[in-house]
């Protein structure tokens, strides 16, 4: 085992060579369409059902309730699922078949309606296309064809209420997990925007173009005006954003889910799109089907934007003495390889420095796509320029052109924190201690610079493998990071790891990172999070976090040392004054001394990780060169 005095060294974790293809095939999603009981006008909602997304039948019922239930339709929620002909009630996920349709009800009996009259889902192999169809049917089929294509990319859209100003605006995270159909997205927007008149009937871009299908959300527009049934003509000034709305929109983009959602990574694809506390995506957040986002209470956490709109003048700075301009210089210095990540603003490619043969990650940011969001990139890059630590992924150099910004980043190939555990042959409490040492070292450095990361989680902790067989963790993805100059109020992060003071919106600072690190430490030793909702409800999870009651249930914690439990309790203290600092973590006996045990707990921890977190299997090489903008709304 490597000595504790080396902050970048983990105990060797030997990776298994066995295949997980069998497990992957078990989790293959089945598409099914769900209708409302007795609603002959509702065209149905398509869901991809898998064990990753829904761990239980109750989790599916809860998700369908969020999507299909309102004050008029299924007001008591979805309690029963019938087959399309009403002949059978379903009681388990195993009864759901690929390509079939089902009817959702509360406690009332099945109502016989021709639910498929105006719908012909092209993905259903058991339904033939008729020779004559109504215009509605043709439109629906065309929409379904589009939905099966690859135009859906992770994207944040802003929806503004029509009507008297100031108007409410919410942000919705759209990706393949949250945008199943045009009707479903409208339902999510209705729930988020809460029009006085009820249902959102129409959406228009700021140019006045009506949104008619799912693909329209993924064009050049990212701001939409929502209108209810009371008004079928938009007023002229509905499409004009006043000064306060422009300012709020700009500030709300400041470093804020992961519903990432937990979430939505840009440019890198989200690797875990579900939080264990939610049955939907997330990176949230990932918490509700649409990862609802709203403007922050304060803009104190935002950094100064570039000197003028659309300008990247603030980015023309060298790093480590390296400064270039012009894309030709890139090709001269680096051999650019395959794409390893893409998103709204940028793509990430592998590249090799021609003079040394060293591998790096090259992030290419398209400035045209960043118009109005320049401060997002500026803030992250300005922080990356400042930081240099063995446990933080490094920005090597940047190259600026009139149309693109090139960032050469350190390339980390070892997978993330969960990969290191699930693919190892031996994993002990001592290994977990070394991982916490690496994370605390990075946090001590950042907090010394008054920088808060705000998105500490396993996906952002990558494993760096060295030639001598040792490994270390490197912290990446500074998309939510900001300099702390006073209390922050922007609600952002990933639900499982979010601190209580963020949820309470009482103002927060550096110690939200310590809370997240405490959650990770807990997971490292048992495989499941300390705060979780048995019913996959985000509200339940947040209630537990606010109370902060910490338990170490038997038998999972029986063989874990009291020293480890003590440290976790001090990291997960609801009172921020009593919560540990990064420096205190490093000096705690469980981290600094040899109080941790060497018992192999790989099988137990891996089993729980696979149960509570999806996509925890080894994946392809990944970098953390992405820009994340993930927020979630606790007030909607």
Asked if the structure places residue 23 within a domain, the reply is no
Tokens of 394: 């490094």
Can you tell me which residue has the tokens 């680096």? Answer: 334
Whether residue 505 sits in one domain with residue 591: yes
Structural domain count of the chain: 4
In a domain, 260, yes or no: no
> Are β-strands 169-174 and 155-161 bridged in parallel, bridged antiparallel, or unpaired?
antiparallel
What was the pLDDT predicted at 273?
33
CATH classification at residue 348: 3.30.200.20
Strand stretches in 228-286, DSSP E: 265-266
For 600: left if phi > 0, alpha if psi spans -120 to 50, otherwise beta; the answer is beta
Residue 170 lies in a domain: yes
Residue 124: which residues within 8 A CB-CB, separation 6 or more?
33, 99, 100, 101
For residue 7, being part of any structural domain is answered with: no
Q: Which residue ranges make up the annotated binding site?
A: 363
Q: How far apart are CA 7 and CA 472, in angstroms?
A: 8
Q: Check whether residue 462 and residue 551 sit in a common domain.
A: yes
Separation CA 542–CA 96 (nearest Å): 31
613-633 burial: b if 16+ Cβ within 10 Å, else e:
bbbbbeeeebbbbbbbbbbbb
Strands 80-83 and 451-452: unpaired
Contact 376, 299 (CB under 8 A): no
Terminal-residue alpha carbon distance, the chain:
50
| Same-domain status, 400 and 439 | no
Q: Is residue 508 part of a domain?
A: yes
User: Does the residue 20 lie in any domain?
Assistant: no
Can you say which residues are annotated as belonging to the binding site for ATP? 363
514 & 489 share domain: yes
Residue 610 to residue 623: CA distance in whole angstroms? 22
* DSSP-derived pairing of the beta strands 101-105 and 395-400: unpaired
Q: Can you give the residue range of the structural domain that contains 71?
A: 29-105
Is there a domain that residue 128 lies in? no
Distance between CA 500 and CA 497 in Å, rounded? Answer: 10
Name the residue among 138, 85, 160, 145 with its Cα closest to residue 115: 85
Identify whether residues 502 and 360 lie together within a single domain.
no
Give the C-alpha distances (Å, rounded to integers) separating 210 from 206, 207, 227: 10, 9, 11
394 closest CA partner among 425, 360, 356, 349? 360
Same domain, 466 and 533: yes
Question: From start to end of 440-577, where are the E strands?
Answer: 451-452, 461-465, 471-475, 482-483
Q: Give the domain-ending residue among 247, 275, 294.
A: 247
Integer Cα distance of 618 and 416 in angstroms: 9
pLDDT, position 390: 92
What CATH number is given to the structural domain containing 465? 1.10.510.10
What backbone phi and psi angles, to 5 degrees, belong to 541?
-60, -45
Chunked into runs of 10 residues, the chain (636 residues) has average pLDDT values of 42 37 53 87 82 83 82 78 93 90 89 71 36 34 46 83 72 78 83 73 82 85 78 44 50 35 32 34 32 31 32 40 57 88 80 93 87 78 92 91 89 79 74 91 96 92 79 88 91 90 92 96 90 82 91 89 94 95 94 72 66 50 35 33
Q: 3-class SS at 249?
A: helix
What's the pLDDT at 265?
Answer: 32
In a domain, 589, yes or no: yes
CA-based radius of gyration for the chain: 25
Query: Is 359 found in the same domain as 374?
Result: yes
**Could you give the CA distance from residue 145 to residue 80 in angstroms, rounded to a whole number?**
29
Question: Do residues 194 and 215 both lie within one domain?
Answer: yes
- Same-domain status, 388 and 441: no
Q: What CATH number corresponds to the domain at position 218? A: 3.10.20.230
CA distances from 35 to 105, 106, 157 (A): 9, 12, 27
Alpha carbon distance 370, 353 (integer Å):
28
CB neighbour burial string for 146-177, b if at least 16 within 10 angstroms, e if fewer: bbeeeebbbbbbbbbbbbeeebbbbbbbbbbb
Domain boundary (183, 217, 247) is at: 247
Q: Are 473 and 464 in contact (CB under 8 A)?
A: yes
Please report how many Cα atoms fall inside a 13 Å half-sphere around the Cα of residue 234, on the Cβ side: 22
Give every CB contact of residue 283 below 8 A, 6+ residues apart in sequence.
257, 258, 259, 260, 261, 262, 263, 264, 265, 270, 272, 273, 275, 291, 459, 494, 628, 630
Q: Say if residue 607 is in the same domain as residue 533.
A: yes
- DSSP secondary structure code for residue 348 in this structure: E
What residues are annotated to the active site?
455
Domain check: are 422 and 402 in the same one?
no
Domain's final residue, options 247, 277, 309: 247
Burial of 341 (0-12, 13-18, 19+ CB in 10 A): buried
Residues 399 and 421 in one domain: no
């Amino acid at each position: 085992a490597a000595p504790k005095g080396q902050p970048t060294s983990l105990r060797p974790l030997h990776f298994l060579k066995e295949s997980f293809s069998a497990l992957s095939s078990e989790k293959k999603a089945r598409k099914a369409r769900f209708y409302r009981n007795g609603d002959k006008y509702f065209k149905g909602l398509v869901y991809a059902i898998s064990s990753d997304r829904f761990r239980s039948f109750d989790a599916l019922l809860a998700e369908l309730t969020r999507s299909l239930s309102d004050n008029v339709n299924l007001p008591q929620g979805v309690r029963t699922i019938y087959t399309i002909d009403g002949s059978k009630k379903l009681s388990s996920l195993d009864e759901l078949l690929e390509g079939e349709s089902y009817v959702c009800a509360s406690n009332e009996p099945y109502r016989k309606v021709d639910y498929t009259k105006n719908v012909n889902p092209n993905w259903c192999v058991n339904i033939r296309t008729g020779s004559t169809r109504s215009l509605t049917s043709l439109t629906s089929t065309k929409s379904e064809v589009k939905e099966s294509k690859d135009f859906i990319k992770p994207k944040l859209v802003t929806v503004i209420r029509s009507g008297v100003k100031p108007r409410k605006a919410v942000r919705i995270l759209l990706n393949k997990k949250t945008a199943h159909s045009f009707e479903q997205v409208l339902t999510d927007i209705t729930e988020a925007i809460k029009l006085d008149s009820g249902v959102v009937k129409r959406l228009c871009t700021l140019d006045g173009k009506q949104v008619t299908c799912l693909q329209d959300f993924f064009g050049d527009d990212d701001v939409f005006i929502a209108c209810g049934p009371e008004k079928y003509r938009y007023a002229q000034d509905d499409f004009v954003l006043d000064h306060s709305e422009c300012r709020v929109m700009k500030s709300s983009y400041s470093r804020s889910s992961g519903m990432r959602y937990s979430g939505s990574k840009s440019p890198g694809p989200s690797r875990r799109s579900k939080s264990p506390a939610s049955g939907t995506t997330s990176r949230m957040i990932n918490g509700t089907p649409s990862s609802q986002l709203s403007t922050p209470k304060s803009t104190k956490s935002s950094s100064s934007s570039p000197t003028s709109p659309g300008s990247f003048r603030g980015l023309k700075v060298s790093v480590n003495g390296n400064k270039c301009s012009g894309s030709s210089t890139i090709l001269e210095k680096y051999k650019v390889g395959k794409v390893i990540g893409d998103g709204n603003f940028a793509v990430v490619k592998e590249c090799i420095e021609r003079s040394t043969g060293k591998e790096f990650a090259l992030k290419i940011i398209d400035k045209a796509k960043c118009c109005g969001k320049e401060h997002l990139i500026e803030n992250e890059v300005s922080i990356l320029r400042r930081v240099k630590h063995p446990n933080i992924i490094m920005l090597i150099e940047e190259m600026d052109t009139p149309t693109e910004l090139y960032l050469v980043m350190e390339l980390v190939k070892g997978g993330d924190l969960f990969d290191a555990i699930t693919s190892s042959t031996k994993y002990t409490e001592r290994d977990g201690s070394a991982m916490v040492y690496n994370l605390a070292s990075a946090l001590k450095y950042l907090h010394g610079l008054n920088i808060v990361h705000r998105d500490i989680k396993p996906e952002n902790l990558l494993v760096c493998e060295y030639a001598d067989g040792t490994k270390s963790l490197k912290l990446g993805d500074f998309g939510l990071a900001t300099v702390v100059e006073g209390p922050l109020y922007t609600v952002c992060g990933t639900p499982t790891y979010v601190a209580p003071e963020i949820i309470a919106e009482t103002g927060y600072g550096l110690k939200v990172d310590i809370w997240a690190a405490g959650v990770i430490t807990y997971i490292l030793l048992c495989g499941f999070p300390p705060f979780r909702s048995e019913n996959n409800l985000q509200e339940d999870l947040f209630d537990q976090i606010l109370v902060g009651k910490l338990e170490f249930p038997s038998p999972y914690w029986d063989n874990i040392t009291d020293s480890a439990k003590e440290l976790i309790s001090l990291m997960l203290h609801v009172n921020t004054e009593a919560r540990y600092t990064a420096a205190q973590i490093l000096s705690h006996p469980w981290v600094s001394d040899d109080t941790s045990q060497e018992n192999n707990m790989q099988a137990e921890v891996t089993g729980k990780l696979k149960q509570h977190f999806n996509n925890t299997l080894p994946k392809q090489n990944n970098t953390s060169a992405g820009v994340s903008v993930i927020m979630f709304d606790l007030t909607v």
